[in-house]
Structure 1
Amino acid sequence: MLQRETLTYIENLTKNNNKAWFDENRHLFEEAKSDFETLVKNIISSFGKIDPDIAPLEAKNCIFRQYRDVRFSKDKTPYKHHMGASFDRGGKKSGFAGYYLHIQPGNKSMAGGGIWMPEAAQLKKIRQEIDYSWEEFAAILNEPAFKKIYGGLEEGEFKLSREPKGYDKENPAIEVLKLKSVVAIHPLTDDELVSKDLLKKIVATFTALMPLIKFINRSLE
Structure 2
Amino acid sequence: MSLALTLHFLHDLAAHNHKAWMDEHRARYHAARAEYATFVEELLRLASAELEPGLQGLRATDLMFRINKNDRSQLDPEPYKRHMGAGFKPGGRHTPRAGYFVAVQPGGGTYVGAGRRLPDAAELARIRQEIHYNAPAFHRMRQHPELLRHFPQGLDTSQTLKTAPKGYNRTDPDIAWLRLKSYFVWQHFPDSEVLRPDFPARVLEVWQAARPLVSFLNEALEES
Common fold: TM-score over 0.5: yes
Contact 2:117 2:183 in 1 (8 A): yes
Q: Which moved more, 1:199-208 or 1:167-176?
A: 167-176
TM-fit CA distance, 1:149: 0.7
Structure-1 residue corresponding to 2:13: 13
TM, length-normalised to structure 1: 0.93
Please provide the CA RMSD for this pair.
1.6
Query: Aligned partners of 2:72 and 2:198: how far apart in 1?
Result: 39
TM-fit CA distance, 1:178: 1.1
Structure 1 residue matching 2:125: 3-state secondary structure: helix
Letter in 2 for 1:154: D
Query: Aligned partners of 2:214 and 2:72: how far apart in 1?
Result: 32
2:196 is equivalent to residue 205 of structure 1: no
Contact 2:72 2:79 in 1 (8 A): no
Count of aligned positions: 220
Equivalent residues in 2 for 1:111-190, closer than 5 Å: 111-151=112-152, 152-156=154-158, 158-190=159-191
Contact 1:126 1:219 in 2 (8 A): yes
TM-fit CA distance, 1:90: 1.7
Structure 2 residue matching 1:53: 3-state secondary structure: helix
Gaps of 5+ in 2: none
After superposition, the Cα gap between the structure-2 partners of 1:168 and 1:185, relative to the gap in structure 1 and judged at 3 Å, is same
Contact 1:97 1:217 in 2 (8 A): yes
TM-fit CA distance, 1:79: 1.6
* C-alpha distance after superposition, 1:95-123 (max 9, x if no partner): 11111111111101100121111111110
TM, length-normalised to structure 2: 0.92
Contact 2:9 2:29 in 1 (8 A): yes
Structure 2 residue matching 1:41: 3-state secondary structure: helix
Letter in 2 for 1:15: A
Q: Which moved more, 1:109-118 or 1:50-59?
A: 50-59
TM-fit CA distance, 1:25: 1.5
Structure-2 residue corresponding to 1:23: 23
Letter in 1 for 2:89: D
Structure 1 residue matching 2:187: 3-state secondary structure: strand
* C-alpha distance after superposition, 1:78-105 (max 9, x if no partner): 2211111111222122211111111111
Structure 2 residue matching 1:48: 3-state secondary structure: helix
Query: Aligned partners of 2:74 and 2:87: how far apart in 1?
Result: 23
Structure-2 residue corresponding to 1:86: 87
Gaps of 5+ in 1: none
Letter in 2 for 1:188: F
- Aligned-residue sequence identity (percent) comes to 34
